[in-house]
Amino acid sequence: MFTGLVQGMGKIVARSNGKLVIKPEFTVDAPVYGESIAVNGCCLTLESAGNGELVFHTLEESLRRTNLGLLPVNAKVNLERALRVGDRLGGHIVQGHVDTAAEVLECRQTSDGDFKLAIALERQYADLVVEKGGIAVDGVSLTVVEAAEDFFAVRLIPVTLHDTALSQRSAGTPVNLEFDVVGRYILRMMELRDNKKTSSPITMETLLEAGFL
């Protein structure tokens, strides 16, 4: 489990035969064989570490569902080690289970001085993106400021631009998306209820009363 607060960036050194080699741009203290590390928001298992590089095995599912198989060698990626018990949860709950890779529509500074990142959205995911809700983009915890049926937009603060690889993304670049896990479960429960596959007493009214909506 992760928080979406990126600890630093790394560079893709090599990708072949199911192996992904990343060279961190910061010191990774005492890396442990088998530990989970989010690479652009995708939870991967560390196979080895040495000479300042981290080596992961990447399944075809991971390469198919994420941008890890699309970004070129030398591209920058975001890195976050797994959350430890007692750590501050400063972002939101991120599982490292990327839902899809989507195309950046624009990444620019607006007339009001904010930096806007707009991303295309497949219609099947539109119900999982809500204004003021959380979303992980390349593993970065962000707040949605605009939600439509075919795109959404977030704003990037200077710290995010400086300390993550999102500043390297431009129109046409694929980014990894992980939608809020609470929203996914709520949507699934409502789908089952509407299809009469469950006798759950949960309704929109009970969710509202419980503070989920």
Task: Express each pLDDT in 154-207 by its tens digit.
Answer: 999 999 999 999 999 999 999 999 999 888 888 777 777 777 655 566 676 777
Average of per-residue pLDDT values in the chain: 91
DSSP string, 88-156: ---S--B-S---EEEEEEEEEE-TTS-EEEEEE--GGGGGG--TT-EEEETTEEEEEEEE-SSEEEEEE
**pLDDT at 182 (0 to 100):** 83
Distance CA 8, CA 158 (A): 15
Task: Express each pLDDT in 35-50 by its tens digit.
Answer: 999 999 999 999 999 9
**pLDDT at 200 (0 to 100):** 62
Residue type, 11: K
Q: Would the pLDDT of 29 be above 80?
A: yes
Q: Would the pLDDT of 89 be above 90?
A: no
Task: Express each pLDDT in 128-167 by its tens digit.
Answer: 999 999 999 999 999 999 999 999 999 999 999 999 999 9
**pLDDT at 197 (0 to 100):** 55
Distance CA 79, CA 8 (A): 6
**pLDDT at 185 (0 to 100):** 80
Alpha-carbon distances of 16 from 74, 94, 211, rounded to whole Å? 14, 27, 47
Q: Which two tokens stand for residue 133?
A: 């809700």
**pLDDT at 28 (0 to 100):** 96
**pLDDT at 159 (0 to 100):** 94
Residue type, 10: G
Higher-pLDDT residue of 208, 141:
141
Task: Express each pLDDT in 111-120 by its tens digit.
Answer: 888 899 999 9
Confidence of residue 103 (pLDDT cuts 50, 70, 90): very high
Pairing type for strands 151-156 and 174-179 reads unpaired
**pLDDT at 186 (0 to 100):** 81
pTM: 0.86
Distance CA 132, CA 120 (A): 18
213 CB contacts (<8 Å, ≥6 apart)? Answer: 204, 207
Percent of the chain with pLDDT over 90: 74
